[in-house]
Structure 1
């Protein structure tokens, strides 16, 4: 396994929802565990989120352009997570009696306001960085959010 292949594996696992990945072949052992944070504390992990298989080299391919698993007419779904840029309180609407800025299945354009995060009595509008469709709202109205916490899942417009 080359260093470039190892970097690609790490990148693929990091961008996926896989919590645990183990690989062993020809004296090479690789274990990537995203359920442990930098302080050494274990994050909550569901058994369904865990991948723990012994793979053989023939099971694993990296960027093999000759291997076409997807038909040309098959659409690849691409989505992105919008994360909180600050710590504060999440509000889905401009006021309690007003309609939410966005909802699931709603189309949004880059720059559209998705929510407000109140921090130190300041109301910060969080805008969509992408054109697309809201797949999921990941936090509840009125809840406290941390820096980097996922707020929305948006299907990017291709």
Structure 2
């Protein structure tokens, strides 16, 4: 098992950068470029949501944390965390919005591209936990 923790101040630029760094790490383990693209999309969306919605004001003390747990031959777990407002799981609509909608596709995309999707709130920490099972042939290295 391999664990990685990436941290940033949640701005749009840093949110994108943290997703890029995560995919760069994953390239050491996963060979499937289509899968890496899907993961990049999910992580960019999740981290961008923190930058847009978690905090009322931009401040250097705001935090975004991405934890990756890679379990070779099995799966990858991503935990995108903030210490902001949090989201109410009852208010999330995982359906695809109407074509004319300006936003609202992020949670749908994340829930569709991952095998498991969980919202966790614990002691002021808000986490979206995403698990993706990786097929045997998608692994680059096994250890």
If the TM-score is normalised by the length of the shorter chain, which range does it land in?
A: under 0.3
More relative contact order, 1 or 2 (CA 8 Å, 6+ apart): 2
Report which of the two has the higher share of strand: 1
- TM-score if structure 2 supplies the norm length? 0.27
Considering only CA atoms, is the larger Rg found in Structure 1 or Structure 2?
Answer: 1
